[in-house]
Amino acid sequence: MISTVTTTTVSTITTAVGIAASLGLMAVLTLVAFLIAKELTGADGRPRLRALGRVLNVGIIPLLLVFAAIVTAKVVEVL
């Protein structure tokens, strides 16, 4: 009974860590895409594109916080 519970717990934790890692990767890639889009829209002189660049901040700021949390977790893991 105890070995079954232990095996199930280890399997669940391993799966959760894999899912968390893939979500972190998707968040970082989305952040990079948003930052690239913001730079491209800011370089254009059209007012609509500049407005789009300001709207992208809505997505960039939370993703920067997630990125900071990921970096902090990795640094703490190394220490």
Q: What is the domain count for the chain?
A: 1
Is residue 65 assigned to a domain? yes
Is residue 37 assigned to a domain? yes
Greater pLDDT, 45 or 27: 27
pLDDT at 17 over 80: no
Query: pTM for this structure?
Result: 0.74
Query: What is the tens place of the pLDDT at every residue in 43-58?
Result: 888 889 889 988 999 9
Phi, psi of 56 (to 5 degrees): -65, -20
Rounded percentage of the chain residues whose pLDDT exceeds 90: 47
Is residue 10 assigned to a domain? no
Is residue 1 assigned to a domain? no
Is residue 58 assigned to a domain? yes
Helix/strand/coil percent split, the chain, to 5:
90, 0, 10
Tell me the C-alpha distance between 47 and 32, whole Å. 23
pLDDT of res. 68: 94
Domain limits at 42?
22-78
Phi, psi of 45 (to 5 degrees): -90, -10
Is residue 74 assigned to a domain? yes
